[in-house]
């Protein structure tokens, strides 16, 4: 049983059976929070336009541009807002700059999960259940390695190690060294956190840093148009 | 005064005035060791063929393929061998897989230094003397982020911070978190170290891990054919 870490997603990369996408500030944190809040399913799109294509359907539109809710969208990309949003039983279409794009880059994999600090233990457990080779794919920040994503990959990676997975390669070692530090030391100095502070969303950084806050794991189930459909891993088959 | 870390070199990237190239296992460690051993100058070439072009001149050829000395070369890429090699007053032409290529990618910068753990404090001091914006460029390993290079970038970056430089961006933060760990914890688990163990060169890993072993800093001075010429930063102008 082996785990690897990809510091950045790459179209056409050979992914193992199980891919765990991490965009901790904030897309994958928010995605799990939306399901925790009762959303029936998420449709992740690679960009805003693909999300807008769903606007005449009975869906909730969630997304961000520069950290903020785009015109015509119902929700921003905030895990705090997600928990209070009236999404019970609804389908949420999500479009973010890095996270949903990273999920699309991994769409060839057999199983795709969305990981964050908030669901770290649960997502590691689900990944271990699904396969013997796991890639933790970091979304990064506009093509650059992101501190928060590598950190969360390390925190999740540690939990996979505890389940018998062997870390392969330098990026996995790097993430695991980083995971030695507590989240409140690492996350606040990340560029993603600093950008949220600029737009008055510092409380979101604190929310994203809450390790094992819940046990909800978004699992890829199929496609709906250009949306990748995710539901709770513990949900009944629709 | 600011410092940044590039996890990988990139042709055509905008580099600040001062670039510090790091390929700690082993090219930049060996380069400094060759100058410490008395070599008059180094010519770094981007590949083996460019190095072979110098073979009829009065030079020492140093290089590696898969960690080992290529046919027709005088020296491998070993920092231990470098210290004992009869290179006094000679020009050494060096070709390695990642390190010399990374130096070539940075060739547009005003000042280029070669950094390693062995010359960490000296190279930070020299970089601080030369400019106010420093990029620590990691050579990486065949296009992938390398643990040993990011670690050394962190160790050198810490010394720049102590001289008043501010770390900018996630990769710099990442390297600085990594630098909290002692070298004998980090270097041995790197892929570069494991590859050297495979070919019986484990002692080279131990040599590369010796922080501040000496104060010799290779500084780029110009070109000779396809070779980038490096001399000791404290040497008299030729």
Q: Do B170 and A181 touch (CB under 8 A)?
A: no
Q: Does the pLDDT at position B238 exceed 80?
A: no
A150 CB near a chain B CB, below 8 Å? yes
Tokens coding B26: 């082993």
C-alpha dihedral over B150, B151, B154, B155, to 10 degrees?
A: -140
Q: For residues A171 and A179, is the Cβ–Cβ distance under 8 A?
A: no
| CA A207 to mean position of chain CA atoms | 14
Instruction: Tell me the C-alpha distance between A60 and A75, whole Å.
Output: 8
Q: Do A174 and B170 touch (CB under 8 A)?
A: no
Q: pLDDT digit string (tens) for A104-150?
A: 889 889 999 999 999 999 999 999 999 999 999 999 998 899 999 99
Q: pLDDT digit string (tens) for A160-177?
A: 999 999 999 999 999 999
CA dist A45 → A42, A102, A104 (Å): 10, 10, 8
Q: Do B177 and A174 touch (CB under 8 A)?
A: no
Place of tokens 């460690």: B29
Instruction: Tell me the C-alpha distance between B5 and B185, whole Å.
Output: 21
Q: Which pLDDT score is estimated for B236?
A: 57
B184 CB near a chain A CB, below 8 Å? no
What element of type H or E holds B157?
helix B147-162
Q: Which pLDDT score is estimated for A238?
A: 46
B13 CB near a chain A CB, below 8 Å? no
* DSSP-assigned letter for residue A75: B
Which residue of B155, B167, B174, B181 to mutate against A (max A Cβ within 10 Å)? B174
Query: Among A187, A130, A133, which Cα is nearest to A155's?
Result: A187
Q: Does the pLDDT at position B55 exceed 50?
A: yes
Tokens coding B23: 């390929």
Tokens coding B1: 């005064």
| CA A179 to mean position of chain CA atoms | 17
Tokens coding A207: 């929310």
Place of tokens 């404090």: B121
Contacts of residue A62, Cβ cutoff 8 Å, sequence gap at least 6? A30, A34, A73, A74, A75, A76, A77, A82, A92, A93, A94, A95
Residues of chain A found within 8 Å of residue B146, distances taken between Cβ atoms: 170
Q: Do B191 and A174 touch (CB under 8 A)?
A: no
Q: What are residue B149's phi and psi, to 5 degrees?
A: -70, -45
If one counts every other C-beta atom within 10 angstroms of the C-beta of residue B162, the result is 11
Segment B22-44 shows an average pLDDT of 97
Neighbour-count burial for A70-109, b at 16+ CB within 10 Å, e otherwise: beebbbbbbbbbbbebebeebbbbbbbbbbbbbbbbbeeb
Q: Which pLDDT score is estimated for A16?
A: 87
Q: For residues B21 and B149, is the Cβ–Cβ distance under 8 A?
A: no
What pTM was computed for the model? 0.94
What element of type H or E holds B158?
helix B147-162
Partners of B209 in the β-ladder: none
Instruction: Tell me the C-alpha distance between B127 and B115, whole Å.
Output: 10
Q: Do A7 and B150 touch (CB under 8 A)?
A: no
Q: Do A173 and B141 touch (CB under 8 A)?
A: no
A98 CB near a chain B CB, below 8 Å? no
If one counts every other C-beta atom within 10 angstroms of the C-beta of residue A117, the result is 25
- Per-domain residue ranges for chain A? 2-231
Q: For residues B60 and B67, is the Cβ–Cβ distance under 8 A?
A: no
- Percent over 90 (pLDDT), chain B: 85
Partners of B92 in the β-ladder: B42, B60
pLDDT beneath 50, residues of chain A:
238
Q: Class of A2-231 per CATH?
A: alpha beta
Please tell me whether residue B111 adopts helix, strand or coil conformation.
Answer: strand
Q: What is the ipTM score, two decimals?
A: 0.92
Helical H segments across A37-140, by residue range: 48-52, 79-84, 99-105, 120-130
Instruction: Tell me the C-alpha distance between B68 and B201, whole Å.
Output: 9
Tokens coding B191: 């892929």
B51 CB near a chain A CB, below 8 Å? no
**CB-closest option in A173, A178, A180 to B189:** A173
Q: Do A190 and B173 touch (CB under 8 A)?
A: yes
Q: Does the pLDDT at position B35 exceed 60?
A: yes
Q: Which pLDDT score is estimated for B173?
A: 98
Q: Which pLDDT score is estimated for A100?
A: 86
Q: Do B145 and A173 touch (CB under 8 A)?
A: no
Sign for the pseudo-dihedral over CA of B166, B170, B173, B175: negative
If one counts every other C-beta atom within 10 angstroms of the C-beta of residue B217, the result is 25
A166 CB near a chain B CB, below 8 Å? no
Helical H segments across B11-66, by residue range: 27-36, 48-52
A9 CB near a chain B CB, below 8 Å? no
Q: Does the pLDDT at position B237 exceed 60?
A: no
Instruction: Tell me the C-alpha distance between B186 and B154, whole Å.
Output: 12
Q: What are residue A132's phi and psi, to 5 degrees?
A: -105, -10
């Amino acid at each position: 049983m082996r785990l690897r870490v990809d510091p950045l997603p790459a179209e056409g990369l050979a992914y193992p059976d199980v891919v765990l996408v991490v965009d901790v500030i904030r897309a994958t944190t928010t995605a799990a929070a939306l399901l925790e809040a009762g959303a029936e399913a998420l449709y992740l799109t690679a960009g805003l336009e693909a999300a807008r294509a769903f606007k005449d359907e009975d869906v909730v539109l969630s997304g961000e541009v520069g950290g903020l809710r785009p015109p015509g969208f119902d929700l921003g990309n905030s895990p705090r807002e997600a928990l209070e949003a009236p999404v019970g039983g609804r389908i949420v279409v999500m479009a973010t700059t890095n996270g949903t794009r990273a999920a699309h880059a991994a769409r060839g994999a057999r199983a795709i999960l969305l990981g964050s600090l908030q669901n770290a233990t649960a997502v590691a457990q689900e990944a271990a259940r699904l396969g013997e080779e796991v890639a933790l794919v970091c979304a990064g920040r506009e093509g650059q390695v992101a501190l928060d994503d590598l950190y969360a990959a390390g925190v999740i990676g540690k939990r996979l190690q505890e389940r018998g997975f062997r870390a392969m390669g330098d990026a996995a070692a790097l993430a695991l060294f980083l995971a030695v530090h507590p989240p409140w030391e690492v996350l606040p100095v990340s560029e993603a956190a600093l950008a949220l502070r600029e737009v008055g969303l510092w409380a979101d950084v604190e929310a994203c840093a809450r390790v094992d806050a819940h046990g909800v794991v978004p699992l890829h189930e199929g496609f709906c148009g250009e949306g990748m459909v995710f539901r709770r891993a513990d949900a009944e088959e629709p």
